[in-house]
Amino acid sequence: MTLRQLRYLIAVAERGSINAAAQGLYTTQSNVSASIQELEEELGITVFNRTNRGVTLTTEGTELLGYARQVVEQADMLEAHYQGSGKDALRLSVSTQHYAFSVQAFINLLDECEDADYDLTMRETSTGQIIDDVASFRSEVGILYLDSYNSHVLGKAFRDARLVFEPLFEAGVHVFVGEKNPLARKDLIELSDLEGLTRYSFEQGRENSFYYSEEPLSYLPHAKNIRISDRSTLTNLLIHHNGYTLATGVLTSAMQQGIVSVPLDTSRTMRVGYLMHRDRKPSRLLLAYIDELKRIVRENPTISAAPDRSKE
């Protein structure tokens, strides 16, 4: 077993395909494929399930990836120390629902990396993919929400994958509409006000279940629906059409022009937090990212921060 094999393993797991890993490593696909095969033969396990759509980690591969990350991180620290560079290569991979605060914390984190080499990844993706990313060690942390409707199903998925959810804040459900929408002039919106309007929601890929929806109250029937995959499309739809979406009420910087957030008349609340694997020791950069998330939450007057358990 070599460090190169472990580095190739990590790259393939993070990128989801051997070809993408080879491009990122500036080597050939055959080199990466042969290296992974040699590792599998040496250990007597199958690390990846291979399909036409890419590769996914097996159960044994997921376990091996956890050990591989620890070995490579320690090796990088040794190299940096004894080569006299004084710099560690910083790595962080985040998978998140479409929240501006999680992206802003990621951007602010660049100040922590100014004097170091780094390899950072931010994925805005579906709920199911977030769980898969953290469970397979593709991402160190995932950002998503729970409420009284989805917590039973998602909680079981977390436990099955050995994941831990730590709440960041709670928020009432809000309606996002364009400033020209008649509902933008209301102080409080009733569910009946939404009848006849187009509902915008983020599509969830294979996990097309109400429990995995990024928007609360998704199980309520609605005649007009548009599903999207990115926040810029949502912004354009809200500004130019009289549709709506449901969220925490925390507007993104891109949405602040032309978008209005109005509370919905419901007792339901959203508990937004971060997801981590039980078997993964958080890196220094991950801890800094979590601290930045908490700082942004504390400074936002529209949401209530969850208690800081680290001080208990």
**Range from 112-116, 146-150, 161-165, 300-304 carrying the lowest mean pLDDT:** 300-304
* Mean pLDDT of the chain, nearest integer: 86
DSSP label of 226: E
The answer to whether residue 203 scores a pLDDT higher than 80 is yes
- Residue 40: phi, psi to the nearest 5? -65, -40
173: which 2 tokens? Answer: 């459900």
Q: What percent of the chain has pLDDT over 70?
A: 90
Q: What pLDDT sits at residue 226?
A: 95
What average pLDDT does this structure show over 52-78? 83
Question: How buried is 104 (Cβ within 10 angstroms: 0-12 exposed, 13-18 middle, 19+ buried)?
Answer: middle
Q: Which domains does the chain have, with CATH numbers?
A: 1-79 (1.10.10.10), 170-270 (3.40.190.10)
| Neighbouring C-beta atoms of residue 269, cutoff 10 Å | 17
The answer to whether residue 88 scores a pLDDT higher than 90 is no
Q: What is the pLDDT of residues 92-129, one digit of tens each?
A: 899 999 988 899 899 998 877 777 788 889 999 999 99
Q: What is the pLDDT of residues 184-193, one digit of tens each?
A: 999 999 999 9
pTM equals 0.72
- Residue 56: phi, psi to the nearest 5? -135, 150
d(CA 246, CA 131): 22
Does residue 204 come out as left (phi exceeding 0), alpha (psi in the -120 to 50 range) or beta? alpha
Q: In what order do the strands lie in the sheet with 118-124?
A: 118-124, 90-96, 141-146, 269-277, 163-172, 304-305
> How many angstroms separate the Cα of 212 from the Cα of each of 38, 122, 125, 156?
38, 20, 12, 12
Any residues with CB less than 8 A from the CB of 175 and at least 6 apart, and which? 183, 189, 194, 244, 245, 246, 261, 262, 263, 264
What average pLDDT does this structure show over 270-280? 91
| Neighbouring C-beta atoms of residue 56, cutoff 10 Å | 16
Closest CA relative to residue 176, chosen from 95, 109, 114, 264: 264
Closest CA relative to residue 202, chosen from 230, 171, 183: 230
